Amino acid sequence: MDTLLHQALLGLVGAENFSEDPEDKLSYARDLWPRNTLLARGGAPPQYPPEAVVWPRDAKQLSALVLLCRANNMPFVPFGAGSGVCGGTIALRGGLCVDMKHMKRLLWSDAERGLARIECGINGEILEESLNRRGLTLGHFPSSIYCSTLGGFLAARSAGQLSTKYGKIEDMVVSAEVVLPDGSIVEVGAERPDLLQALVGAEGTLGFFTQATMRVHPLAEERLLRGVKLPDVEAGTRMIRELLHAGIRPAVVRLYDELDTWMALAGGKKDPEQKSEKSEGSILEALRQRLPEDKITRAAFSFALQLAPQVGFLADAGPKLLGAGCLLILAFEGTKRVAQAEEAAALEIAGRLGAKDLGRSPGEAWLQKRYAVSYRLSKVFQAGAFADTMEVAVTWDRLLPLYDAVRHALQSEAVVMAHFSHAYHEGCSIYFTFSTSAPDTQSSLERYDRLWKRALNAALAVGASSSHHHGIGLLKAGHLRAELGPGGFLLDALKQGFDAQHLSNPGKLGFQK
Amino acid sequence: MIRLDELQRRAKEITAAVNPVSDDIVAIAPWKAEEVPRIIEHCLSCEAPLVVGNGALSTGVRFDLSKLQKIKPDETSLVVHVEAGVKLGHLEERLHAYNLTLGPIPGELREHSVGGAIAGRSYFKLGRYFSYWEDPLLSLDVILPNGNYYHTTPAPRRASGPDLTKLLAGSEGTLGIIMSARLRVYTRTRSAREAVWHLPTLEAAGLAARKLLRAGLCCSVLYAEEHPGKALLGARLEGSMASLHDARLQEAEALLGPTQQDPHELIQRFSTPQKSLPTPRAEIFVPYEEVSAVLALCPERSAATLTAKLPEVALLSLENVSPVKLFMLARTHRGTASPASALYEAGTQFGASTLGAAYASLQAMKRALDPKHLFAKGALGL
């Protein structure tokens, strides 16, 4: 780094908020994109470390940093808590990594108005706890909540586990303070056209969120959890659709496909995150007998199956043969009267559709361990295999074709399971988990890339979005452009308007100078 | 150099409905959506400015999309794909044949075309049955300023970059011409509950409405009117399960007290075009707690005072959009149409003063998208 620039940066943020230490640069060189985890497991150092890391204290300091970077043609890349899974914070062109975590205050909340003003570097869990102490909730519970920030939520259009009632993050934000790539500090809200919704999801390519006014809600007076079992995915998705169209807004809607359900219930466990170990031996044998002929696939299957007792990934066909059915977890919350009425109405619909009421325990067990799933993937990698998740959304009329198409696209090379966990009036998202293995790093990377390409091609062919809540980053940039088609022209014009120099998080969302 | 005569000739080869309005303006009313991109291609090659509907235009092409009337309901997803020329009131009537509804439509929106309501973002006032934060607009089909047809992804939610659907909605034709849209619909309700509360002031009615919304009680209609010495707040709860409305109405009564008799008349007024009121109207987006401040501008509620104090504004009523802010609808008493870009939000004129430095970025985006400013030139001050 140029000495003058180095001195200027130090002068701006102070030595304690500036680092060129190799350890820091390595730490900030990657997020939780599994592809980079594969590379790291293979011993490769991160390809794109930033030149330095800074921790600005407020929007003014960030604005000054941005102006300095612009003057020196240096890229600047935002960093929240690093739990993104698409490579959205990788410093492709080097430059400055801007860690936002010093901006971490809950500035005010107003229960009457249902609003809170929050700095965007605040950790998701700390924010929720702070609001809870004031009798409020944001209603946003992503499984990454312990390792996430509000700015990251906004940048990538995050969704939480209670999204059906409270919405995704873009539904919660009322206005935001943003430092634009030209260094100006602006407040964007309900203008026309809707610039706020153009900046949300831009992954730092059009500006950095520094503060946001968010809708908040009184803590629920009542939360009622319920599990029901349906014969198959088709019946399960139909039940969710009927609930939504009847005007019921459960806080939690989680439908597990047959494989996932079997894992949850076969051993008498009521928690889909707490996989059964007792009876896995029998199902593994049943599954092994049905392995395809291809050697690589057999190897991958076998590997994944060996891991099953620890990590919970099993093959696709067995549970259907064993009649596992599909577990649907629901939660209703709000005032006591309304939560009870919604639960009663939901059970009425469930009864009409032939669902079996499993009582409260599946939901309560899920609630206790609801964030655990995010921490299981590392075990897969440690064991030599790999896994990733893909979340896409579509309207109800195309939901089952989407489910079938993606599974079909992946099944020859990976074990695939899915759940449906963000439901809306018009449609639903599907969260696919696929796991497999390959003999070495290079072939693992090739398989990883091939699986993603197939899965997203299949999803886009059905008319789904390329992402529901993980964002685009580097992983899905090509598919974003495929999804947009001619709309890429509009997206590029937006970039040209806000950051013609392509310095703000360059290379993401498929932007190319 | 614009050659309107040449453009007319080419347009007539595509569609029959081409009529010169003056020496400088040609009106084109395509019969089919497929004709529009072909005509626009010629507009671009002739560098002819173009607008849809009544937008300001000194020279160029004025598109009338009112012949684009197709609708295609998706009864599984409860979405209707509708062309831009269909008026919202007419759309509602046609949906009834499928046992579907847009929900209660504010009276003044019934004559809005789908394209116009989205371009001006007034569609946002369509009722929400079950949760206040959901947007009735799912996706758009637009022709961009480079002439390409862009279909935004009709997914219920996306994390695929910026929300270009929302960027286009409200852009008043500056970023693209809206050809069709997918809007949320509901099955026609088998039951509904209506309620009305008498409150001392319009501000009190607004705060009471917020109370309902904050408790999670979403209403398909939430409407307040000011009357001498009091204000009325009406609410309508509906859906397919009567037990739910009953519980929600009980909850509402627990919050605001027992409802008064005969709410239906008030709710009807919400959905009825108020023809006695002059148009056009201005709309301001007001936080609940600022209703009093706005009303204080005109204690006697006279159009003259309001016109002087808050340009273009007169008689007031309130409609909910969220528990945070609400729309204050106000009909102008001025005889001339105000340009769309003169609409007021939070009492501030749109443009540089509202967007601050982001306005320059918006202008730069417009330059990149439409370097010759052919699409809706001058709208939004761009």
Condensed to tens digits (0 to 9), the pLDDT of residues A75-90 reads 999 999 999 999 999 9
| Span B205-221, average pLDDT | 86
Indicate the residue of A115, A188, A467 with minimum beta-carbon distance to B358: A188
Indicate the residue of A247, A395, A425 with minimum beta-carbon distance to B244: A247
pLDDT of amino acid A163: 97
Mean pLDDT of all residues belonging to chain B: 82
User: pLDDT by residue (tens digit) across B14-30?
Assistant: 987 899 889 899 999 99
Least confident of A449-453, B193-197, B299-303, B311-315: B311-315
Cβ neighbours of A59 in B, within 8 Å? none
Tokens of B277: 């009121």
Cβ neighbours of A191 in B, within 8 Å? 345, 350, 354-355
* Edge-to-edge order in the sheet of strand A115-119: A106-110, A115-119, A208-215, A173-179, A185-188
Q: How confident is the model at residue B324 (pLDDT cuts 50, 70, 90)?
A: low
> A198 to chain B: nearest residue by CA?
B162
Check: CB of residue B71 under 8 Å from CB of residue B82. yes
pLDDT of amino acid A249: 93
* Edge-to-edge order in the sheet of strand A76-79: A18-19, A52-54, A96-99, A76-79
| Span A11-17, average pLDDT | 97
Between helices A441-462 and A399-410, what is the axis angle to 10°?
A: 160
Between B3 and B361, the higher pLDDT residue: B361
- Interatomic CA distance for residues A500 and B368, integer angstroms: 10
Tokens of A357: 């009421």
User: pLDDT by residue (tens digit) across A259-308?
Assistant: 878 766 654 454 555 544 333 344 444 455 544 444 444 445 555 555 54
pLDDT of amino acid B343: 34
CB count, 10 Å around CB of A219? Answer: 14
Q: Is the pLDDT of residue B317 over 70?
A: no
Indicate the residue of B157, B160, B176 with minimum beta-carbon distance to A168: B157
Least confident of A151-160, A196-205, B174-183, B342-351: B342-351
User: pLDDT by residue (tens digit) across B30-57?
Assistant: 999 999 999 999 999 999 999 999 888 8
Mean pLDDT of all residues belonging to chain A: 89
Which of A66, A217, A490 to probe by mutation at the B interface, max B CB count within 10 Å? A490
- Interatomic CA distance for residues A96 and A25, integer angstroms: 10
Contact A490 B167 (CB under 8 A): yes
Contact B162 A483 (CB under 8 A): no
- HEC readout, chain B: CCCHHHHHHHHHHHCCCEEECCCCEEEECCCCCCHHHHHHHHHHHHCCCEEECCCCCCCEEEECCCCCCCEEEECCCCEEEEECCCEHHHHHHHHHCCCEECCCCCHHHCCCEHHHHHHCCHHHHCCCCCCCCCCCEEEEEEECCCCCEEECCCCCCCCCCCCHHHHHCCCCCCCCEEEEEEEECEECCCEEEEEEEEECCHHHHHHHHHHHHHCCCCCCEEEEEEECCEEEEEEEEEECCHHHHHHHHHHHHHHHCCCCCCCHHHHHHHHCCCCCCCCCEEEEEEEHHHHHHHHHCCCCCCHHHHHHHCCCCCCEEEEECCCCEEEEEEECCCCCCCCHHHCEECCEECCHHHHCCHHHHHHHHHHHHCCCCCECCCHHHC
Q: Is the pLDDT of residue A418 over 80?
A: yes
Indicate the residue of B74, B121, B360 with minimum beta-carbon distance to A395: B74
- Interatomic CA distance for residues A42 and A304, integer angstroms: 19
User: pLDDT by residue (tens digit) across A142-161?
Assistant: 999 999 999 999 999 999 99
Q: How close B20 gets to chain A, by Cα (Å)?
A: 32
User: pLDDT by residue (tens digit) across B70-79?
Assistant: 999 999 999 9
Instruction: Report the amino acid identity of residue A209.
Output: F
Q: How confident is the model at residue B278 (pLDDT cuts 50, 70, 90)?
A: very low
- φ, ψ of residue A494 to 5 degrees: the values are -60, -45
β-partners of residue B235 are B195, B222
Instruction: Report the amino acid identity of residue A256.
Output: Y
- Interatomic CA distance for residues A512 and A480, integer angstroms: 13
β-partners of residue A57 are none
pLDDT of amino acid B210: 85
- Interatomic CA distance for residues B150 and B133, integer angstroms: 26
pLDDT of amino acid B3: 79
pLDDT of amino acid A235: 97
Say what the alpha-carbon torsion angle B201, B202, B207, B211 is, to the nearest 10 degrees: 100
Indicate the residue of A187, A244, A497 with minimum beta-carbon distance to B368: A497
pLDDT of amino acid B162: 97
- Interatomic CA distance for residues A504 and A487, integer angstroms: 21
The ipTM value here is 0.91
pTM greater than 0.80 (yes/no): yes
Tokens of A263: 């894992």
Q: Is the pLDDT of residue A463 over 60?
A: yes
Cβ neighbours of B354 in A, within 8 Å? 191
Q: Which helix (DSSP H) or strand (DSSP E) does residue A119 occupy?
A: strand A115-119
Least confident of A167-176, A292-301, A425-434, A471-480: A292-301
CB pairs under 8 A between A and B: 295
Contact A497 B157 (CB under 8 A): no
- Interatomic CA distance for residues B166 and A171, integer angstroms: 12
pLDDT of amino acid A46: 92
Flag whether residue A45 sits within 8 Å of chain B, measured between CB atoms: no
User: pLDDT by residue (tens digit) across A224-243?
Assistant: 999 999 999 999 999 999 99
Indicate the residue of A113, A191, A427 with minimum beta-carbon distance to B156: A427
What angle (nearest 5°) sits at the alpha carbon of residue B122, between those of residues B121 and B125?
Answer: 120
Percent of chain A with pLDDT over 90: 79
Which of A192, A242, A392, A498 to probe by mutation at the B interface, max B CB count within 10 Å? A192
pLDDT of amino acid B286: 65
Tokens of A248: 């019921």
Q: How confident is the model at residue A179 (pLDDT cuts 50, 70, 90)?
A: very high
| Span B110-132, average pLDDT | 84
Contact A114 B149 (CB under 8 A): no
Closest CA to A406 of A454, A446, A449: A454
Contact A470 B159 (CB under 8 A): yes
- Interatomic CA distance for residues A302 and A294, integer angstroms: 12
Q: How confident is the model at residue A375 (pLDDT cuts 50, 70, 90)?
A: confident
Percent of chain A with pLDDT over 70: 88
Cβ neighbours of A394 in B, within 8 Å? 155-156
Which of B75, B123, B160 to probe by mutation at the A interface, max A CB count within 10 Å? B160
Q: Is the pLDDT of residue B340 over 60?
A: no
* Partner B, chain A 213-242, Cβ-Cβ below 8 Å: 215, 217-218, 241
Closest CA to A499 of A513, A487, A480: A513
- Interatomic CA distance for residues B137 and B288, integer angstroms: 25
Q: How confident is the model at residue A322 (pLDDT cuts 50, 70, 90)?
A: low
Flag whether residue A468 sits within 8 Å of chain B, measured between CB atoms: yes
CB count, 10 Å around CB of A499? Answer: 24
Flag whether residue A125 sits within 8 Å of chain B, measured between CB atoms: no
CB count, 10 Å around CB of A107? Answer: 11
Q: Is the pLDDT of residue B345 over 50?
A: no
Indicate the residue of A188, A397, A490 with minimum beta-carbon distance to B144: A490
Cβ neighbours of B364 in A, within 8 Å? 496-498, 500
Indicate the residue of B78, B158, B362 with minimum beta-carbon distance to A468: B158
* b/e sequence A239-261, b meaning 16+ C-beta within 10 Å: bbbbbbbbbbbbbbbbbbbbbbb
CB-hemisphere CA count at 13 Å for A69? Answer: 31
Q: Is the pLDDT of residue B289 over 80?
A: no
- Interatomic CA distance for residues B162 and A196, integer angstroms: 9
pLDDT of amino acid A66: 98
Closest CA to B272 of B221, B230, B237: B221
